[in-house]
Structure 1
Amino acid sequence: MNMGPESESQGEFESLDSCDERILSVINELHHRDDPIPSDLNARVQFVLELEAELDARVARVSRSSELVLTRGDAELAVGQGDPATVTFDCESVTVMVTPRPSALKERRLDGWIGPEGIYEVELRSTDGSKRASTDESGRFVLEGLPEGQLFQLVIRPHEALQREGLPAVVVTPAVQL
């Protein structure tokens, strides 16, 4: 590549001039306006670090549910088109499906099902603290009074009988937002 006279004078180590500073200032303003740092970023990071420090658990992954279709009578309705979105988490031996629903002003209710069927202790952890529920024998649970828009993570503890059948002692889901 042959460098002409104009590119030779534009070294990569030249100091910034006023035009460069104006361009950088505009870029900085755009970032602050259109993509600000979340106000609760520190709380989110601390939440995840505390959980990782406390638990030696199997981490479930989010199953892609975009292919799921709900059927209501003869009409089909894709998830996320009017009905509450259902999120499914799974690891080797446990599947957790949750559906957030509005319950009160700026609050959510979380309906959940865990498979295989059995008794589980469910802990929902958020930056506001934690809430607990137990499943019925079919693996169904409900958590109510959850703040809308809150980042949460589920910690699932199977009953001892299920652990004897090979289920892990603790399963934790990735953090998702209500």
Structure 2
Amino acid sequence: MTDLTPHGGSDPADAPLDATDQAVLAEVATMLDDVDPVPADLVERVQFALALDAMYDEVAQMTRMLDDALAVRTDLADAVRTETLTFSAERLTAMVTISASGPGQVRIDGWVTPAGVRRVSLRMQGSDREVTCDESGRFVAAGVREGFVQLIFHPTDTEDDGGLVVTPLFKL
């Protein structure tokens, strides 16, 4: 095996960065900015998600399935793109269907189990909205603008633990 260390016996990887290293790193940074730039709103999205996650007791796990994948037959001229998300937590499970309802808007139809009247908050960048589940656990939010959202499920009056369940941030 050949010893690649200089005559001084130290490893070149331990040496401080020099002008050549700085030039190579600058070229790599420029290339990465061109090929895969950082999204303009990344910092805001991360701060939003971290601030909300820190406030709640339980974060539900999300499963996403495009309804297009479930379709057996469809008339493409009349097809409306929808997707279904399922959020599972220890205290509740929620199924949410998102469908386009106009330019830049969606409709959210949801079902929560265990059923019961409860508030559902929609936390969105720049605005919040609240809807209520009926006795069967169903809720609807129409005319919601596309973008990132997080759902917060408030406990029913009969639930004694009082904790909130929050979904991960997801894009409508």
| TM-score, length-scaled by structure 1 | 0.73
The DSSP-based 3-state class of the residue aligned with 2:44 is helix
The DSSP-based 3-state class of the residue aligned with 1:112 is strand
**Aligned partner (choices 147, 152, 155) of residue 152 of structure 2:** 155
Residue 146 of structure 1 deviates from its aligned partner by: 2.3
**Aligned partner (choices 170, 174, 177) of residue 168 of structure 2:** 174
Residue by residue, what CA displacement relative to the aligned partner does 1:69-90 show, whole Å, maximum 9, x if unpaired? 6365xx59xxxxx852211111
**Mapped contact 1:58–1:168 kept (Cα < 8 A):** no
**Mapped contact 2:97–2:108 kept (Cα < 8 A):** yes
Aligned partner of 2:112 in structure 1 is 114
Identity of aligned residues (%): 34
Q: Which runs of 4+ in 1 moved over 6 A?
A: none
Q: Count matched residues.
A: 162
**Mapped contact 2:124–2:150 kept (Cα < 8 A):** yes
**Aligned partner (choices 106, 119, 133) of residue 131 of structure 2:** 133
1:8-23 counterparts in 2 under 5 A?
Answer: 8=6, 11-12=12-13, 13=15, 16=18, 23=24
Separation in structure 1 between the aligned mates of residue 126 and residue 17 of structure 2, nearest angstrom = 48
1:75-86 counterparts in 2 under 5 A?
Answer: 83-86=81-84
The DSSP-based 3-state class of the residue aligned with 1:92 is coil
Query: Judging changes above 3 Å, is the alpha-carbon distance between structure 1 residues 22 and 52 closer, same or farther for their aligned structure 2 residues?
Result: closer
**Mapped contact 1:100–1:111 kept (Cα < 8 A):** yes
The DSSP-based 3-state class of the residue aligned with 2:39 is coil
Equivalent position amino acid for 2:60 in 1:
A
Equivalent position amino acid for 1:116 in 2:
P
Instruction: Say whether 1:39 aligns with 2:40.
Output: yes
Aligned partner of 1:142 in structure 2 is 140
Equivalent position amino acid for 2:2 in 1:
N
| TM-score, length-scaled by structure 2 | 0.75
**Mapped contact 1:121–1:132 kept (Cα < 8 A):** yes
Runs of 5+ unmatched residues, structure 1: 77-81
Aligned partner of 2:25 in structure 1 is 24
**Mapped contact 2:99–2:108 kept (Cα < 8 A):** yes
Residue 175 of structure 1 deviates from its aligned partner by: 0.9
Query: Judging changes above 3 Å, is the alpha-carbon distance between structure 1 residues 147 and 33 closer, same or farther for their aligned structure 2 residues?
Result: farther
